Structure 1
Amino acid sequence: MKFVKADWDADLQGFHVDPQSYLAELPKLREELPPGAWEFASDPGHYSMSSTHCVKDLELSDIHLATDKSGRLTLEFAPNEWKHDTGLTITYSGVRHFSIDYQQEIDWMPADAILLDEILPDQDGGCIHEMALTDASITVRSNDLRAVWG
């Protein structure tokens, strides 16, 4: 990710996350991000660690990738029982790239959870959504996305 920090801190034996550089840059991206991406990224609770709409700690629960040429991808995230009232579903349209890269370094967690994410404009008018998870990273390049809590 370019602005958001989400790194393992061996001294703390935990993750250090910091969205502040991205939040400072986000207002400049309004005209460049597609509408759904902007709505999701600019949600006031998105990076507020105490908000039920903060993505931190959501657990990756399912991936639905279209097998036709529709370019549709859906990622489902289950709520963290201590933080969220509901889960989150993100549906991407016009997907041009999807990757999930596993590090397989943290074996004490039963599921991969989001540390933080970042959505930036892509050069072709779409967006790039990157997510750092506890033991993986996800990158999606698409025309737009729609995020629904519930």
Structure 2
Amino acid sequence: MKYVIVRYEDYGSYGAYNHCADAYLDVLPTLADQLPPGARAFATDPDHYDFHGKRCVKDLKPVETRTEGDQLVLELRHNCWKHDADLVLRYTGVTEYTVDPPGELPSEVRLDELLPHEQGVRHEFVCVGGSIVVVAADVTAAWTPTDCTG
């Protein structure tokens, strides 16, 4: 990622992720007008980087990607201790989709970053155990309520 920092630190007997979206949030007001409408709305949502908020992407788990017509759909599952909804991202005009390492989706999202791209938007996720990158014309985000009582 260009601005968002996600770094795993090994402290000997344990490890932890250090996260910082401050540099991204500082430049986002100047980048927002260059993002397609759906990407702009998602990136600039005030809860997107609120680590304690129910609509923060941190700690969501990528569970499925599929195509529906001309869209790439990425589903991210909630954690009941933090979220009350799942996130469904729908990308149109996809020109790149990369999962690293290849073969299966990585675990929980640490953070993401949406940047303007000549094709529209470049959306990168750093996750536990890997990353996801999608370059597309645009992306729309929808939160689907879920029941965390069981």
TM-score (norm 1): 0.88
Residue 81 (str. 1) matches residue 80 (str. 2): yes
Please give the alpha-carbon distance, in whole angstroms, between the structure 2 residues aligned to 1:6 and 1:54.
15
Quote the Cα distance in structure 2 between the aligned partners of 1:73 and 1:65: 5
Identity among equivalent positions (%) equals 37
Displacement after TM superposition at 1:101 (Å): 0.2
- 1:3-22 alignment to 2 at 5 Å? 3-11=3-11, 13-22=15-24
Partner of 1:129: 123
Give, in whole Å, the separation in 2 of the partners of 1:4 and 1:46: 13
More strand by share: 2
Structure 1: runs of 5 or more not aligned: 104-110
Aligned residues: 139
Deviation at 1:123, TM superposition (A): 2.1
> Aligned match of 1:120 in 115, 118, 139?
115
User: Of 117, 133, 138, which residue of structure 2 is paired with 1:139?
Assistant: 133
Whole-angstrom CA distance in 2 between matches of 1:25 and 1:44: 15
Q: Residue 96 of structure 1 aligns with which residue?
A: 95
Backbone CA RMSD of aligned residues: 1.4
SS of the equivalent of 1:21 reads: helix
Listed as ranges, the gaps of 5+ residues in structure 2 are 145-150
